[in-house]
With several copies, the nearest count.
Chain A
Amino acid sequence: MSQGFDFSIAIGGAAGQGIATPGNILARMFVRRGLHLNAYNAYQSIIRGGHILLTMRVREQEALSHGDHIHLLLCLNQDTMTRHLRHLGPGAYAVYNADNITPGEHQDGVHLCGMPVTELTGDAKNKLAQNTAALGVIAHVLGLDFEVLESALTLQFQRKGEAVVSSNVAVARAGYEYSSANFTPLANPLPQNPDPLAVWTGNDALAMGGAAAGVKFYCAYPMSPSTGVLHWMAKNARELGIMVRQVEDEIGVANMAVGAAHTGARTMCATSGGGFALMTEAIGSAAMMEIPVVFINVMRAGPSTGVPTKTEQGDLWQALGASQGDFERIVVAPQDAHDAFGTIAEVFNLIDRYQCPAIVLSDLLISEGTFSVPPDDIDMSPPIERGKLIRESNGDAGPYNRYLDTADGISPRAVPGVPGHVHVVATDEHDEEGILISDEFTNPIKRRQMVEKRARKLDDYFTRVAAPEVEGDEDAEVTLVGWGSTAGVIAEAMEQLQADGVKVNRLAVKWILPFHAEAVTEALSGARKTLIIENNHSGQFHRYLRSETGITADGHIRKYDGEPFMPHHIADGVRAHLAGDVSGGVFVPDQEILV
C-alpha cells in the first residue's frame, strides 16, 4: 500500500447480470498500461441469481493478493449496495444505477456516484446499459482519457459488429460525461508503466505450462474449479497439435491418461477433489507400472461436493493418501499462477526422469483468479528432458528388461512400437522382466528387491529440486509457514506487520512430497515463534509437517469459510498470537466481506 498506486475495484451483482464483460474490459485496460492485476471472483454454484463480487486489484507493484480494501464499488443491483457499501472507507467510490438502486448508511467521505442510466442512455430496457455507463464513470474517476476506454470497448465488441461497438461507445461516453460533470476524480490518476502486461487465469497458466512442457495428450472430465484447463486445451488443441479428450468420468480420464503416457506422449489431466478421489486407483497403477503422468487437483471447499465455487486447501491428505500401498510420486503445490506455469514443465522433467506420477495441487484461488503477467516471462520453450525414454529402435538387439534393477533404480523405458523391446507392464508386482511374481511363486525376495528398486529412484531428488528458504527479517519475532497459494498473501501480511515494526519472516513450502525434511528443520530451527497459515479446518499441512520433521508449530491461523485470506486476516492473526490472545492456538479470522 505504501508504494505507489494500489486500487481495488469491486463489481457486484447477480449471476447473469454480465459482470464478466466490464471486468474483462477493465482488466485489459489496466494490463495494457503495464499495471499489475490480481482479481478474485466470489461467486456461487448457480447460473443465474445469487451474489457475485469480482474484486480487481490494480497496482503499480506486483499484486500478490486481492488485497484488503475496496476503493471503488460498482453495484449492479441493490443487494450489492446493501451488502458492501459499509465496507467503503473515506475517499472510496460507489457507482450505481440511481434509477433502481439506493445507497444506505455509509462512512463520511464516500463518493456516491449514482447514474441516471435511463436518462443517460434513453433506453429503459437494456439491462446491460448500466454496466457500460459505469465503465464511463470509472474511466473518468480513474483519470483516463475517454479514448482509452473507447478503444478497449471497440476491441471487446468488434466481433459483434459495428452497431454494437458504437452503441456501447455512446453509452460509455454518456457515463463518462455525466461523471465529469458530477463526480470528483481520483487525486492521483491511474498511472502508466512503460511495458504492457498480459493477463491470464491460473488455469490458463497450468494449461500453458503443459503446452510448453510438450503435453500432447490432455484428457478431463469437467469439474469446477479445474475446468478452465480443459477449456484452454480444447481451444488451442488444433493449433498446438494437442489431443484433447473429454472422457465419460474421472476414472476413464486417469486410466486413459496412463495409456497415452505409456505410448510416450507427455500427458496431463486436471480435476477437483471428488474427481481426484476417483482417479486415485489409477495413480497407484501409474506408480506400479512406472508411467509418468501429471494429475492436477484444483482444490475447492470440501468435504464432498462441498462449496463448489469456494476455495480451500483441504485436499492435502487426500493427495498424500491417494491410492493403496507405498509408492513413488511427486506432490507439488504451486504458489500462484506464474509459479504454476513454470512448475508444470519442471514436474514433467522430474517424472520423466523418475518414471512416476505427479500430483499438482492448485486451488480455486489460483486457478480461477485473473492475474497480470509480464509477457516476456511466458517462456514456452523450457528445457525438455525425457529421461531414459526409448521411442525409436536403437539397433540394440540385446535382451530388454523393462524393470531392470539398475544402480539408480531407474530402468530404460521403451514405448510400444519399438522393435526388440517388447514387454508387458503390470499393476501386479513383477520382476525385472515384467513377469508377475504371483504368477507361479510369489517370491518374497524378488518382491523386496522390486520395492527397493522403485524406492531408490528418488534418491537424488533433493539434489534436483530447490528446498524452501526463509525469506524476510533476519531475527524475526515470528516465522510464518505456509504452503501453496498462501505464499503471496502471507508476503503482503508481512509488509503490513513490518510497517508496524514487527519483525517477521516466512517459509513458503511448495514441493510437498518428497518433503525437504532436513532443509525445513534447519530453516525452522532458529525460529522464535512459528505460526502456520492454512486455508482449511484441521491444519492438514501442520500435521504433515510434523509427520516429516517432528516440528510442532507454536500457533495457527486458519480459515475454512470458503473465502481466501486477505492480508489483514493474517496480520491480525499474527498480532493476536504475539499478544497471547489466541485461545486453543488457532486464530480464525472473520470474513467481513460477505460474498
Chain B
Amino acid sequence: MTIELREKPLTAKDFKGKVDPDWCPGCGDFALLRATQMSVAELGLSPHQIVCVSGIGCSSNFPGYFNSYGMHTLHGRALAVATGVKMANQTLTVLVTGGDGDGYGIGGNHFTHTARRNVDLTYLVMNNQIYGLTTGQVSPSSSLGMKTKSTPFGNIERPVNPITSAIMNGATYVGRGFSGNIKQLVRLIKGAIEHPGFAVIDVFSPCVTFNRDNTYDFFRQRVAPLEDEGHDPSDWKSACERAMEWDDRIYTGLFYQDQAVQSLHAREPILDGGAPPVSHVPEAITREQRDRIVRRMM
C-alpha cells in the first residue's frame, strides 16, 4: 500500500498497526493513538513516509499499534534515536511517542538538547504522571504529596513543568492536550507535524490503573482550552504563566510557537540547498576527494 499506487485517500483506519493495543481499557493512550491516526490521514501522509520512534513504557508501545515505520528503542532514548533518523533522512516525517518518565525522567537530557537544537520532530508525550508499565511509581511529573508504590508517604519532589521547560529550552511549538478532547489533539498534532522544528505536545493521558489522583474527572473539572482565552502563542511570558496554573484551571492548547527559528537540518551545512539525505547518497568517495586528503598529509 504505497502512496504511488493509492486510489483513494487513506483514513485513520489505514494507520492501525499489526496488533491491537494491550493498554488497560480506559487508558488515556487510546485517545492519542486515535488522534494521531486521524491527524496523519488528514495530512495525506502515507505509512512509509513516517517513522514513529518510542522508548519503553506503556505509552511507548505506541509504534506497535500504529501503521508506519517504527522504532521501539530504549527507555528514555527515543529523542536521541529520532534525531539520528531525522538528520540522516530529513525527508521522513518523524514522530516520537512516549511517557512522562521516559521523556522527562531518564530522557530529560535529550529533551533539553533536542529542544535547543530545534530538531524537526513531533514529540507526543502521554503524561499520566506515573510510571505505568512498572506498575505505579512516582514520576517526575507526579504532584507533590502523591502516594505511589515508591512514595508511600507522599512525593516530596516538586514536579517538572514540561511546558515551561520545553519553551525555555528552545522548543518552537509547545502544546498541551488531554485524552478527553480528541478534536483539540488532532488540531495540535497536525500543527505540530506541519511545524518545521521541534514540536512538543504534553498530553494528559490518565492511567486508570495506577494514578488515582489525576483521573479523567480531575482534568475534566479543570481543563480550559487556550483557544477560548485569546492567548497569543508568540508571547512566551504569558505562555509560561498560563502553563504554571494548576489548581482550579489547567490550560490546554497551543501555548507557544516560533516559526522564525530554523530547524537543525535547515542549518546543517552539508544539507545546503536541498541536498539528498545522507542515508541515500552513494557511499564511495571520489578519487579527487581522496587525492586532496592525501595531499594534505604529505
Q: Residues on A close to B: CB < 8 A?
A: 16, 28, 31-32, 45-50, 196-200, 204, 208, 211-214, 216-217, 219-224, 227, 230-231, 234-252, 255-267, 274, 281-282, 285, 289, 304-305, 373, 375, 378, 380-381, 384, 386, 391, 393, 415-428, 433-436, 439-440
Contacts and interface: CB of A to CB of B under 8 A. Distances in A.
B61 to A, nearest CB: 7
B84 A259 contact: yes
A202 B168 CA distance: 42
B241 to A, nearest CB: 26
7 contacts: A216-B279, A255-B80, A267-B88, A419-B2, A422-B67, A424-B52, A424-B63
Given A238-B269, A246-B137, A274-B74, 9 more contacts: A47-B23, A237-B270, A245-B87, A249-B76, A264-B280, A265-B278, A417-B48, A424-B71, A426-B71
Interface in B140-162: 140, 149-153
A255 B85 CA distance: 10
Contact of B70 (A32, A200, A425): A425
Contact of A419 (B46, B108, B153, B298): B46
B79 to A, nearest CB: 8
Contacts of A428: 56, 72
A234 B151 contact: yes
Interface of B: 1-4, 17-19, 22-25, 46-49, 51-53, 56, 58, 61, 63-64, 67-77, 80-89, 91-92, 105-106, 108-110, 112-113, 131-135, 137-138, 140, 149-153, 209, 268-271, 275, 277-285, 287, 289-290, 292-294, 297-298
Given A235-B152, A256-B81, A48 B72 contact: no
Listed residue (A31, A263, A423) with the most chain B CB atoms within 10 angstroms of its CB: A263
A249 B105 contact: yes
B270 A380 contact: no
Contact of B88 (A240, A260, A375): A260
A41 to B, nearest CB: 13
Given A249-B76, A264-B279, A258 B81 contact: yes
Given A31-B298, A243-B278, A439-B19, A238 B153 contact: yes
Contacts of B278: 216-217, 241-243, 260, 265
B47 A422 contact: yes
Contacts of B293: 208, 211, 236, 378, 380
Given A375-B297, A419-B3, A380 B285 contact: yes
B46 A263 contact: no
Contacts of B24: 16, 47-48
Contacts of A220: 150
A242 B83 contact: no
B279 A263 contact: yes
B92 A263 contact: yes
B98 to A, nearest CB: 13
Given A375-B297, A425-B71, A439-B19, A227 B88 contact: no
A386 B284 CA distance: 12
A393 B134 contact: no
Q: Shortest 7 CB-CB distances between A and B: which pairs?
A: A214-B283, A259-B84, A419-B2, A424-B70, A255-B80, A259-B81, A260-B84
Contacts of B4: 419
Contacts of A45: 133
Given A198-B297, A241-B281, A381-B287, A263 B72 contact: no
A436 B63 CA distance: 11
Contacts of A251: 77, 80, 109
A274 B106 CA distance: 12
Contact of A424 (B64, B82, B113): B64
A262 B85 contact: yes
Contact of B61 (A230, A245, A436): A436
Contacts of B277: 263, 265
Contacts of B64: 424, 426, 435-436, 439
Contact of A222 (B46, B131, B275): B131
Nearest to A430: B72
Most buried by B among A237, A262, A267: A262
A274 B84 contact: no
A305 B23 contact: no
A378 B63 CA distance: 44
A3 B283 CA distance: 42
B290 A255 contact: no
Contacts of B91: 417
Nearest to B4: A419
Contacts of B290: 212, 378, 380-381
